[in-house]
Amino acid sequence: MAIVLGENRYGKAETRLVRVARDGETHTLTDLNVSVALSGDLADTHLTGDNAGVLPTDTMKNTVYAFAKEPGVGEPEEFALLLARHFVETHTQIRAARVGIESFGWERLGPHSFRRQGDHTRTAEVTVTVEQTQVVSGISGLTLLNSTDSEFHGFAQDRYTTLPETTDRILATAVDARWRHLRDDTDWAKSFPAAVEALTAAFVGTYSYSLQQTLYAMGSRVLTELPEVAEIRLALPNRHHYLVDLSPFELSNHNEVFIAGDRPYGLIEGTVTRDDVPPAITEWYP
């Protein structure tokens, strides 16, 4: 029996970049949080402290800022591809690079004035190895609520079950979704809003008997409408809204007054996939 080094990677996390593109009076704003992780032939630094193969994480940060100037950022998936390929192509000891980007939206108020949107964060996670490339797009923080058209009954019961069945409840969730692409040259600017539109439309349009059913509807809608997507993973917290018992105050409550609960919450996680796609080259969702 020996003690050995297993899987490892290192990088610079959360490099905050704001890029202003100036086209005369009219500016365009890109606001990103970029994380880089590299892996490869890195045993020496772990075992002996010999850093000959270690590109400093400070250099990764510099590279993010320099590439933001030239060639510029473009869509998050594009910028992540650019960066990930750079590290693998320019350093032979680096066998794989993973670049994750959070992109924060800003609404235009004027030629060079903006208001930050807060209703979701767009994500991109790109993995480039010496042989393969994988692009995963995503969204987090998209909070959706149906105030009716949600039931939950006919469920399994045991001695610890006290939940009453319901034919009318609030269904609310903060969508966290990641979808893996089949190709690395998709039209990212078109694909992302199409995915968000599909997710939202499926949530709104599904008469729900369980959040699992809604999850599957959302995932399959994305696959149906976006042929470029291989599979999609959804993590949907069930943000419980508890009906308040107003009977002590001689008041009725026909699904009108709710406590918005913090914890605990349900958590429904699932993948919807095509049955003929190649496997992922690495774990692709958090």
Angle between helices 57-69 and 76-90 (to 10 degrees): 130
- In three-state secondary structure terms, 61 is helix
- Give the end-to-end CA distance of the chain in Å, rounded to a whole number: 32
CB of 222 to a second copy, least distance (A): 10
As a whole number of angstroms, the distance between CA 27 and CA 182 comes to: 33
- Among this protein's residues, is 12 annotated catalytic? yes
In angstroms, give the least distance from the CB of 74 to a second copy: 14
282 binds a second copy (CB under 8 A): no
Q: How far apart are CB 259 and a second copy at their closest, in Å?
A: 6
From 122, 178, 181, 241, residue interacting with a second copy (rule: CB under 8 A): 241
**Residue among 86, 181, 240, 241 flagged as catalytic:** 240
Q: What is the size of the binding site for a second copy (CB under 8 A)?
A: 140
Selected from 75, 192, 208, 226, the binder of a second copy by CB under 8 A is 208
- Coil, strand or helix at 212: helix
Touching a second copy, residues 52-71 (CB under 8 A): 52-59, 61-63, 65-66, 68-70
Residue 57 annotated among the catalytic residues of the structure: yes
State yes or no: is 69 an active-site residue: no
Non-local CB neighbours of 9 within 8 Å, separated by 6+ positions:
37, 38, 39, 96, 98
Judging by beta carbons within 10 Å of its beta carbon (0-12, 13-18, 19+), is residue 188 exposed, middle or buried? Answer: buried
| CA–CA distance, 286 with 278 (Å, rounded to integer) | 20
Range in contact with a second copy (rule: CB under 8 A) among 75-83, 125-133, 185-193, 205-213: 205-213
Q: Residues 27, 28, 45, 57: which is the catalytic one?
A: 57
Q: How far is the CB of 16 from a second copy (least distance, A)?
A: 4
**Do residues 233 and 271 touch, judged by C-beta distance below 8 A?**
yes
Could you tell me which stretch among 76-84, 130-138, 148-156, 183-191 binds a second copy (CB under 8 A)? 148-156
Q: What letter represents residue 263's amino acid?
A: R
Active site positions, annotated: 12, 57, 240
